[in-house]
Structure 1
Amino acid sequence: MIFLVNKLIEKGKKNAAIKAVEENVKKNMVLGIGSGSTVVYAVERIAEMNSKEKLNLKCIPTSFQSHQLIVEHDLTLVSLDQFPEIDLDIDGADEIDMDLNLIKGGGGCLVQEKIIASNSKKLVIVADFRKNSKKLGENWKKGVPVEIIPISYVPLMRKLEKLGGSPTLRMAQAKAGPVVSDNGNFILDVDFGVINNPKELNMKILTIPGVVDTGLFIDLASIAYIGKEDGNVLTLVK
């Protein structure tokens, strides 16, 4: 049973990624390449199209993972310094609500992902059916990732509790101690339960000194492709 569910999940990811790439990637584009397991399928399809159709694509990574994906698939690697305006950003999400607000950062790359997304003309999200919710916090139970300056860890925990959250310092799996982001910061996972007003919550968190950014992506996504259990892809448009 577990094997079957996992197979459906992977099929959903792949179908969503392929459809998103085929409907949005065009010749001579500068692409933002997001992070996560679903993006792997997107990069595979981008590389196939780029090779066959000579699309002359340029790719900007959001993480070490996506940097490696770009290099491994022989795509042209460029930087935000070279191309500060991005045509299209393809990324995954931990959860998507009805208004295309997102929770991201389960993989720890939220700051880079938000920088790339905010400098893109269009943010396309690819995900499987588990990530689709009416409200943020309904399906994703690990909380909102918040990247913080390490020295602020203890007071920030207290301030986030006053906002109604239950913060947990994300701990590393292969080393003793906390996860350290690509930027050298800590990540708190803050459980707020079901989030009725993600925009307001995001602004409140961002006003706390020591917060670098949050995993709440508000009014950034233009379209989301959700791979369903039956193999079809649900398209959500802003």
Structure 2
Amino acid sequence: MTGELSPIDKAKFVAAKRATDYVEDGMRVGLGTGSTAAWMVRCLGEMVREQGLRIKGVPTSTRTAQLAQDVGIEVVSLDAAKWLDVTIDGADEFDGNLNLIKGGGGALLQEKIVATASDQMIVIADVGKEVETLGAFPLPVEVVPFGWQTTQALIEETLVSMDVLGRSTTLRMNGAAPFMTDEGNHILDLHLKRIGDARQLAMVLNQMPGVVENGLFIDICDAVVVGFGDGRVEVRDINAGTIEQAMLDFAETDNLFTDLVD
């Protein structure tokens, strides 16, 4: 199956596959949400079935929970797990300091809770997600439905004093209706183009009434596993200050993902 993948899908696959090296028998593992994270869940499921790997998975969304159960991973709640050994998740953008924008899939709140309750957070991404400065990808902000337009106006007013290039915001839709998160909230996407001070913006946004959480993940990620379309992987560890490169070998007939829908 991997021999038929596009270069970007192959990059996602090799990043996900390499990241499973962080998972050991008996661990409690945070399972991310999104297309790249779904490949990782499938890889872990294969390890459970074929290698006898024993882990407890804490999913960051209902769809990840369903996928994990489908591939044979034991799913538990974060309250039951209490603390996690590692969380592996994707990102919409990451910079040289391994700060992230997440929430393109709408699960940013659960993703941030799970990531911060882990000894390590490992991000898996194709090389196209790397940026010099965060902000090209719209920044998701989860808001409560009550008074969301007032919250939106407050955010737009506040952005005037922030170091950003764009200030437009849009309500995320699901067809004709507003998109709803697993917690029943809405998402405002902030089209900022460039974020000059991500740390400041994250703090300011979370002080606003009506804002539940924002998609800036600052000082949370410990390492990023970057996949390339030719099968190369690069592991950048922010704590150790190391960069490791390798070529990932995989079977051309691998059919892990024949029924995986992004």
Match of 1:210 in 2: 210
CA–CA separation in structure 2 for the residues paired with 1:28 and 1:183: 30
The list of structure 1 runs, each at least 4 consecutive aligned residues, that deviate by more than 4 angstroms after superposition, is none
Tell me the C-alpha RMSD between the 2 structures: 1.2
Where 1:71 maps in the other structure, the secondary structure is helix
- TM-score w.r.t. length of structure 1: 0.92
Q: Does 1:89 align with 2:87?
A: yes
Gaps spanning 5+ residues in structure 2: where? 161-166, 239-262
Give the alignment partner of residue 37 of structure 2, picking from 36, 39, 57. 39
1:159-170 aligned at under 5 Å gives the runs 159-162=154-157, 163-164=159-160, 165-170=167-172
**Contact kept? 1:160, 1:166, Cα under 8 Å:** no
Alpha-carbon shift at residue 77 of structure 1 (Å)? 1.0
Q: Does 1:180 align with 2:180?
A: yes
Gaps spanning 5+ residues in structure 1: where? 1-5
CA–CA separation in structure 1 for the residues paired with 2:87 and 2:121: 5
Where 1:145 maps in the other structure, the secondary structure is strand
Amino acid at match of 2:209: P
1:75-154 aligned at under 5 Å gives the runs 75-138=73-136, 140=137, 143-154=138-149
Aligned sequence identity (%): 40
**Contact kept? 1:144, 1:189, Cα under 8 Å:** yes
Match of 1:49 in 2: 47
Where 2:140 maps in the other structure, the secondary structure is strand
CA–CA separation in structure 1 for the residues paired with 2:189 and 2:145: 14
Alpha-carbon shift at residue 147 of structure 1 (Å)? 0.4
Alpha-carbon shift at residue 213 of structure 1 (Å)? 0.2
Amino acid at match of 2:133: K
Q: Which moved more, 1:178-187 or 1:41-50?
A: 41-50
Amino acid at match of 1:155: T
Alpha-carbon shift at residue 53 of structure 1 (Å)? 2.9
CA–CA separation in structure 2 for the residues paired with 1:95 and 1:183: 24
**Contact kept? 1:32, 1:60, Cα under 8 Å:** yes
CA–CA separation in structure 2 for the residues paired with 1:104 and 1:214: 9
The number of equivalent residue pairs is 227
Where 1:194 maps in the other structure, the secondary structure is coil
CA distances 1:68-94 after superposition (whole Å, capped 9, x unpaired): 111100111111111110011011111
- TM-score w.r.t. length of structure 2: 0.84
Q: Which moved more, 1:118-127 or 1:154-163?
A: 154-163
